[in-house]
Amino acid sequence: MKTPVIYKIINLINNKFYVGSTNNHYERFRVHRNRLRGNKHHSKHLQAAWNKYGEASFVFHVIEEIADASLLRAAEDVWLSAWVGKEQCYNTSKYSDSPMRGLSKEQTPMYGKNHSAETKQLIRDARLIQDDPRTGKTHSEETKERIRKAKLANPSRAWLGKTRDEETRKKIGDTQRGVTKAPRRFTEEGLRRAQENMRRVTMAHPQEVKPFDAVLAKFPQEVQDKYDFENAVYTGALNRIEGCVCPSHGVFSQYAVQFRKGRGCPSCGAEERAQTKRKQMKEFWATKEGREMFLESRKHFELKA
Domain positions in the chain are: 5-107, 208-264, 270-304
Instruction: Kindly tell me if the per-residue pLDDT of 305 is higher than 60.
Output: no
CATH 3.40.50.12240 fits 5-107, yes or no: no
Contact by Cβ (8 Å): 231, 245: yes
Q: Specify the pLDDT at position 92.
A: 85
Determine if the pTM surpasses 0.75: no
Most confident of 135-139, 154-158, 268-272, 300-304: 268-272
For residues 55-80, give the mean pLDDT: 91
Q: How far apart are CA 136 and CA 138, in angstroms?
A: 7
With bands split at pLDDT 50, 70 and 90, how would you rate the model's confidence at 302?
low
| 235 band by pLDDT with thresholds 50, 70 and 90 | confident
- Tell whether the model's pLDDT for residue 47 goes beyond 60: yes
User: Does the structure show a pLDDT above 60 at 301?
Assistant: no
For range 58-75, the mean pLDDT: 91
In this prediction, residues 213-217 reach a mean pLDDT of 91
- Phi-psi category of residue 112: left, alpha or beta, with phi > 0 → left and psi -120 to 50 → alpha: left
pLDDT for the residue 1: 55
Mean pLDDT of the chain: 85
The answer to whether residue 296 scores a pLDDT higher than 80 is: no
Confidence of residue 247 (pLDDT cuts 50, 70, 90): very high
